[in-house]
């Protein structure tokens, strides 16, 4: 088969790229090694920047998000036993964040793809990418016991951190920047309404804690824990004890307990590879970068990447111009490093590091006080938290 862009991976990055390119009249084929059921039920973070929300709405797949998503105009920073409520919508001049689970976005994008009947291969095995350093790259895979070949102009690697795409860039050309953090998050889904409609970030001497939600009746809750901890070492009673200790303060706020129906431990990592393109291969999302979940930027970075990639490919096909295409990696990486800076800053200032002494503790509190009380710092925080528009990073106009 032949297409203009072969997309490896049907996560949010690959599906959104396929959708945006379809709207631009560019042919694509998407290949995914998991089943449709798996990707539609895989639970991931669900805090969306304003730009991600706008991309969903403007491209025609935002109806359910508008009906079921929860818009948040405030966040609550808690430290020293006090709440500090920030009006992020006012501080960022009208931008908010929304809570809408990642697997719901995947459902919306898969339904759209199936609706306009463009190729989407689930449960593909032995996927391989070839000849990206020529003008005739290809993707090979096996589907339903038949060998398949896609001849294409470009390959979009949207297959995540453990996918094959990044490995296609020659080692001599690839630079990797990596940081492992000395703690993890224990996250739970609990069948109980969130005690606050604000997302709450708490810095506490016992460790970080976070209150978020997956809907009006489901709470998404986290506590910092050691990297070596296991889910079995965190029975429900221990989780609730730690969560209450870290978030509850003198104002009487209290999270009602409820049955915990999902529990998992997530390590914390920052990762960036450069470049994000080589020959006819372009990377997007987790295949090129990982951020710690503080600030919920991973999905939003992926959507930013594919918006930039869509503009590059649209300019190439519709106008015969390579300017945006040749600058794809540089444009993405400018934004990626700014988001990494913000996520790392939050990670540093909200967690207790095992090696820190009281000096570092005081420095963390000083930075949190600055965010909570300096109007300039509040604005900078709100602008990064609600998302830096991709348009800020183009240097060709």
Catalytic amino acids? 72, 201, 293, 297, 385
Give the separation between CA 255 and CA 243, rounded to whole angstroms. Answer: 9
In this structure, what is the dihedral angle of CA atoms 384, 190, 82, 96, given to the nearest 10 degrees? Answer: 30
Give the separation between CA 222 and CA 207, rounded to whole angstroms. Answer: 11
Give the separation between CA 26 and CA 253, rounded to whole angstroms. Answer: 52
Instruction: List, in order, residues 6 or more apart from 241 with CB less than 8 Å away.
Output: none
Give the separation between CA 381 and CA 383, rounded to whole angstroms. Answer: 6
Give the separation between CA 38 and CA 202, rounded to whole angstroms. Answer: 33
In this structure, what is the dihedral angle of CA atoms 254, 258, 262, 264, given to the nearest 10 degrees? Answer: 40
The CA-based diameter of the chain, rounded to the nearest angstrom, is: 65
Tokens of 215: 């809907």
Residue written as token pair 């998503």:
69
Question: 353 and 183 in contact (C-beta within 8 Å)?
Answer: yes
Give the separation between CA 67 and CA 12, rounded to whole angstroms. Answer: 20
Angle subtended at Cα 120 by Cα 118 and Cα 125, rounded to the nearest 5 degrees: 155
360: Cα separation from own chain's centroid: 29
Tokens of 70: 């929860």
């Amino acid at each position: 088969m032949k297409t203009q862009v072969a997309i490896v991976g049907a996560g949010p990055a690959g599906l959104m790229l396929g959708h945006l390119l379809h709207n631009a009249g560019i042919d694509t084929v998407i290949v995914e090694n998991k089943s449709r059921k798996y990707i539609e039920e895989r639970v991931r973070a669900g805090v969306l920047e304003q730009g991600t929300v706008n991309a969903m709405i403007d491209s025609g797949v935002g109806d359910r998000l508008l009906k079921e998503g929860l818009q948040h105009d405030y966040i609550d920073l808690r430290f020293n036993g006090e709440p500090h409520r920030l009006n992020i919508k006012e501080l960022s001049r009208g931008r908010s964040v929304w809570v809408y689970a990642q697997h719901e976005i995947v459902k919306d994008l898969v339904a759209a793809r199936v609706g306009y009947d463009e190729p989407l291969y689930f449960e593909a095995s032995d996927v391989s990418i070839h000849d990206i350093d020529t003008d005739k790259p290809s993707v090979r895979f096996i589907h339903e016991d038949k060998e398949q070949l896609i001849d294409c102009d470009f390959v979009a690697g949207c297959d995540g951190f453990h996918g094959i795409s990044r490995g296609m860039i020659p080692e001599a050309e690839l630079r990797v920047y990596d940081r492992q953090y000395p703690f993890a998050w224990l996250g739970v889904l609990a069948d109980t309404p969130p005690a606050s409609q604000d997302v709450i970030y708490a810095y506490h001497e016992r460790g970080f804690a976070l209150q978020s939600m997956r809907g009006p009746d489901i709470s998404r809750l986290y506590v910092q824990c050691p990297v070596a901890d296991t889910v079995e070492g965190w029975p429900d009673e221990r989780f609730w004890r730690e969560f209450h200790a870290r978030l509850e303060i003198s104002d009487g706020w209290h999270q009602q307990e409820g049955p915990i129906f999902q529990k998992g431990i997530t390590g914390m990592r920052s990762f960036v590879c450069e470049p994000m393109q080589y020959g006819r291969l372009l990377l997007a999302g987790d295949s090129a970068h990982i951020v710690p979940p503080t600030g919920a930027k991973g999905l939003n970075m992926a959507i930013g990447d594919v918006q930039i990639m869509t503009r590059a490919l649209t300019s190439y096909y519709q106008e015969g111009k390579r300017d945006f295409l040749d600058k794809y990696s540089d444009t993405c990486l400018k934004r990626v490093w700014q988001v990494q800076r913000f996520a790392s800053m939050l990670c540093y200032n909200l967690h207790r590091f095992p090696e820190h002494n009281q000096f570092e503790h005081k420095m963390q509190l000083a930075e949190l006080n600055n965010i909570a009380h300096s109007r300039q710092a509040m604005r900078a925080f709100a602008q990064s938290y609600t998302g830096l528009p991709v348009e800020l990073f183009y240097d060709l106009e």
